Amino acid sequence: MAVGVILQSFVLALSQAGDRRFRRVLFLGIVLTFALLVAAYAGLLVLLQWLVGDSATLPLIGEVTWVGELVTWSSFFAMMALSVFLMVPVASAITSLFLDDVAQAVEDRHYPHLPAVPRLPIPEQIKDSLGFLGVLIGANIVALALYVLFPPFALFIFWGLNGFLLGREYYTLAAIRRVGREEANRLRGRNWLSIWAAGVLMAVPLSVPLVNLVIPIFGAATFTHIFHRLNGGLKRA
């Protein structure tokens, strides 16, 4: 397992946060991620208020009118907890949308010898994103049984499962733009353990509210470095 490559790639990704193009993508990623989480929170709040209402009648107490406020605050904390799980599919969507921009910024700075590549067609990006999203949701639904059976290990199961899936997705997207889908799958199979470990490195901070807002973009940059460094900077390109 190429631990040195993984850590160095992550550090290089962080060091490029000051790049103007990188900051632009990072800003757009944060805004879109935050907007998606706010939309999910608003939907949850509307649903809870519809189910509970603004007031309720309690035995011996009578009508209470603070129920709506209680629902608002409790739903906020529930949303913070749910963001841990929501950020994994959100990270996948953000990465699919901005990977080309992030990868190009990384390559211009660190791999300038590489020739330009055309952007992936939008329909292909959408198809890949939706396909992976289905796998991600299905796998996490199945994993719910493991969370219930082994609650002390639930977070580690979450990190391991989603680290594997995210690593697979991030690496494949980074590789496809340079070597095509078939070669990307072959290279991913050859380096699967390092890719899994790097995916876990992305999945762990995704479970930290607020911190998880910046991880999708840094993840895309990290896996661009990992792809090139595991393949000798793609000298044959």
Say what percent of the chain tops pLDDT 70: 78
Q: What radius of gyration, in Å, describes the C-alpha atoms of the chain?
A: 21
Q: How much is the pTM?
A: 0.78
- Host domain of residue 197: 3-34+83-234
For residue 73, tell me if it sits in a domain.
no
Q: How many CA atoms lie within 13 A of 85 on its CB side?
A: 18
Measured distance CA(131)–CA(160) in Å, rounded: 20
Q: What is the mean pLDDT of the chain?
A: 79
* Predicted pLDDT at 187: 93
For residue 48, tell me if it sits in a domain.
no
User: Can you list the positions of beta strands (E) in the chain?
Assistant: 56-58, 62-64
Q: Which of 133, 190, 195 is nearest to 170 (CA)?
A: 195
Tally of domains in the chain: 1
For residue 61, tell me if it sits in a domain.
no
Measured distance CA(151)–CA(23) in Å, rounded: 39
Instruction: Give the single-character DSSP code of 57.
Output: E
For residue 109, tell me if it sits in a domain.
yes
* Predicted pLDDT at 148: 86
For residue 169, tell me if it sits in a domain.
yes
- Stated length of the chain: 237
Q: Which of 213, 157, 169 is nearest to 195 (CA)?
A: 169
Over the stretch 56-85, which tens digit does the pLDDT of each residue have? 454 444 454 444 554 455 556 666 666 666
Compute the C-alpha angle 103/163/222, nearest 5°.
Answer: 25
The distance from CA 29 to its chain's CA centroid, rounded to whole angstroms, is 11
* Predicted pLDDT at 80: 62
Q: What are the angstrom distances between the C-alpha of 92 and each of 23, 26, 134, 206?
A: 19, 15, 11, 11
For residue 69, tell me if it sits in a domain.
no
Going by pLDDT thresholds of 50, 70 and 90, the confidence category of residue 171 is very high
| 109 contacts: CB under 8 Å, gap ≥ 6 | 16, 19
Over the stretch 46-58, which tens digit does the pLDDT of each residue have? 666 666 555 445 4
Report which secondary-structure segment, H or E, holds 88: helix 67-110
**Six-digit token string for 119:** 């952007």
Q: Taking 50 as the threshold, does the pLDDT of residue 19 lie above it?
A: yes
For residue 78, tell me if it sits in a domain.
no
- SS3 state at 63: strand
For residue 161, tell me if it sits in a domain.
yes
